[in-house]
Amino acid sequence: MSQKPILTLDTAVPDRLPVAITVDGERQIFFLRDTGEYSARERKTLASLFVGIAEFERADEDTLTEDDELIYVAALKQIMRITMPDVPDEIVNKLGILEHGRLCALVISRFTRETTEEKETPAPAPVALPTAPVKLRKLRDQLASAKLSHE
């Protein structure tokens, strides 16, 4: 009688995506965690961060405050800290909004691909009218490892 292994090496070590980051002229490779590596709590945190970021980006500019921008940047940094924990804080803090935004888009695309592979037809996203970033503001206290200051 042949026995099948319960855990294979492929199951134990999911594929991670190499991401090149250049800071101060030095290019380094870090790895983006696979979507299967996140705990339920991390997935919930990421989902909240994605919603807050999208809300900020759709917000009517007249409703935004300086604090909203600081929270937005902190949320982007928090996504990097969760998805690429091997990146040192000094590198996370040196990256601009554009670089953090690109990483966020990459992470969302990986989760979206995972979701669309599970479903046959994805539901259309609801269209929201511009408003103040209320959910983003609620995230402020949850961004424990992110500093709400200009760096």
As a whole number of angstroms, the distance between CA 35 and CA 22 comes to 24
Q: Which residues of the chain have pLDDT under 70?
A: 1-2, 5-14, 114-131, 144-151
The DSSP output letter for 86 is: T
Instruction: Provide the 3-class DSSP secondary structure of residue 106.
Output: helix
This prediction has a pTM of 0.73
Tens-place pLDDT, residues 112-151? 886 656 555 555 555 555 567 787 778 777 775 444 444 4
132: left (phi > 0), else alpha (psi -120 to 50), else beta? beta
The DSSP output letter for 6 is: S
Q: Helix 66-83 vs helix 97-118: angle between axes, to the nearest 10 degrees?
A: 60
Cβ-contact 28, 21 below 8 angstroms: yes
